[in-house]
Structure 1
Amino acid sequence: MPDSRAVSRRDALRYAAAVSAAAGLGAASLAHAPTAAAAAPTLIDYAMRQIPAQDIRAAGHAGVINYVSTSRPGSSFGAKPITLPYAQQLTAAGLIIVSNYQYGKPGGTAPSDFTRGYAGGVADAKTAWALHTAAGGGKSAPIFFSVDDDIDRGTWNNLALPWFRGINAVIGEMRTGIYAGVNPCQWAIEDGVIGRSSSPGKAWIWQTRSWSKGQIHPAAVLYQRVIDTASNPGPVVGGIRVDVNDVLAQDCGQWNKHP
């Protein structure tokens, strides 16, 4: 995921919630609260390798956002894609799972996925859905597709939007989500290419702090608050550094809520 500056917990506290996290968020409730309130539940995302479920629980996280995509050429990430045995381990430990697709990356050995247009969206959605279902992913659960760059409206209209239309053609709008900064999240809603959460007012938006200018979209279900970089390392869980995401809705697209 993208580079960003170090993050203060004030970002999370501003959007904190009173939460009952029973049953893997199945009974959780979340509401805006003053900065003195307890922080929202958190999910971690990572690619280097599979982190044992007990380490994730010991670190106090409610679950994971894991990849339903393969590694780019020249790389070999142990957590891409999520596998059925690993998903079963996480679930048995009471952790929730959310699916994300990202193969290419700016400056990487494969171009950003959103640059591949409608046909690329069709191909990426087929790959994502096959890997998601092979790992036991919920049949009605969304997959968040990554716009891992600071794009303008022209790039959205000419490249990213056709890519999302291709994704919709395969898995449908209701199973399509977006990972991006605040602007593409808004455009995705306006153009009707992402689905809605069962939590009132929420949509399948996993928003990153990067490129968001301190704003959090009111419809976001997940917010990537801590982004691991070389200059600003994320917390270590199970021996590797991770990104940390605040859960902003009872229904954030977790598998166990979308069987």
Structure 2
Amino acid sequence: MKIKGIDCAVPLTAEKARAMAAAGMKFVCRYLVPVSMEWKRLTRVEAEAITAAGMQVVSVFQRGNNDAAGGAANGTRDGKAALQEAKLIRQPEGTAIYFAVDYDAQPKDYAAMEAYLRAAAKELPGYSVGVYGSYAVVEEMAKRGACKHFWQTYAWSRGKLSKAANIYQYQNGQELAGHTVDYNDALGGEGWWNTKLPAVEKTVNKFDTESAEEVIAILGSVWMASDNDPGVREAAHYAANALRDAVGIPK
């Protein structure tokens, strides 16, 4: 069963997020952009609303359609901006930030595109970089090892789907819950995230009885060799009894 999701330019309210989830959506791709593009900017409040609705967040950075063709200089600029936004909304490290190549990129652009992605990655310690683009873009950037995650659009892809794709955008400009959205399938390794705190693993007592008895025997030797020092004897006695209590050995 495919995992369905959407991407959209306009922010979701809590009500809209719940409606998307009720329609079967499991993730939402939203924009990390500077405050000058506030009309489509992902905020912490929106990320929390998406999470509360039971969906995951996918982060994508995009100023213009073809910034990646500007090479390393643009990658450095956009990587720094993406990091600032990711930290502002508290996106967890270890998750992905995609950079959009939103045009029919040609082979002459590939070297600059690779330089763009690598430069962006240098500015994003702790995060994984991905690219959004056509089949050809995904295939070429995967072959070059330019980034770790791949979000393919059907646009300019001429009916092909890359085996490297982690997300596949298959339909644009649809209406869902009164919102204009694009439909996507999750294919694994998406790098998405949510605002839930990570679960804290309880400490498990793995000290077995046999090991405890060995330590208690050592404490007994300390007690015997203490030359009747009351402080040493009391400490050894206390430690031995505490260990017995911890593993359930009768006193």
Query: Same fold, TM exceeding 0.5?
Result: yes
Alignment of 1:98-177 (within 5 A): 98-105=58-65, 112-157=66-111, 159-171=112-124, 175-177=128-130
Change (3 A) 1:152 1:172: farther
Which residue pairs with 2:168 in the alignment?
Answer: 223
1:258 Cα deviation from its structure 2 partner: 11
Corresponding residue for residue 255 of structure 1: 193
Q: Does 1:53 align with 2:17?
A: yes
Higher helix share: 2
**Residue type of the alignment partner of 2:61:** Y
Q: Does 1:210 align with 2:155?
A: yes
For 2:123, what is the secondary structure of its paired residue?
A: helix
> Equivalent residue of 1:252, what SS?
coil
Aligned residues: 195
The CA deviation at 1:223 is 0.2
Once the two structures are superposed, residues 9-65 of structure 1 have per-residue CA deviations (whole angstroms, 9 ceiling, x without a partner) of: xxxxxxxxx3xxxxxxxxxxxxxxxxxxxxx11111111332422111122111200
Residue 191 (structure 1) aligns with: 144
1:178 to 122, 127, 131: 131
Q: TM-score of the superposition, structure 1-length normalised?
A: 0.69
The 3 A distance-change label for structure 1 pair 174 and 86 is: closer
Q: TM-score, normalised by structure 2?
A: 0.72
Q: State the shift of 1:92 in Å.
A: 1.6
CA drift of 1:207 comes to 0.2
Distance in structure 1 (CA, Å) of the matches to 2:63 and 2:110 = 18
Deviation at 1:237, TM superposition (A): 2.4
Consecutive aligned runs of 4 or more in structure 1 exceeding 6 Å deviation: none
What is aligned with 1:81? 41
- Which has the greater radius of gyration? 2
CA distance in 1, matches of 2:160, 2:126: 25
Q: Please, what is the CA RMSD of the aligned residues?
A: 2.2
Tell me the CA shift for residue 122 of structure 1.
0.7
| Helix, strand or coil at the partner of 1:49 | coil
Q: Aligned partners of 2:184 and 2:38: how far apart in 1?
A: 20
Contact 1:168 1:193 in 2 (8 A): no
Runs of at least 5 residues in structure 2 that lack an aligned partner in the other structure: 199-251
Q: Report Cα offsets for 1:131-178 as digits up to 9, x if no partner.
A: 122112121111110111111111112x21221121122126961101
**Deviation of 1:221 (Å):** 0.9
Secondary structure at the aligned position of 1:88 is classed as helix
Structure 1 unaligned spans of 5+: 1-17, 19-39, 106-111, 196-203, 229-233
Q: Contact (CA 8 Å) 1:100, 1:146: kept in 2 or not?
A: yes
Would the aligned equivalents of 2:4 and 2:186 in 1 still touch at CA under 8 Å? yes
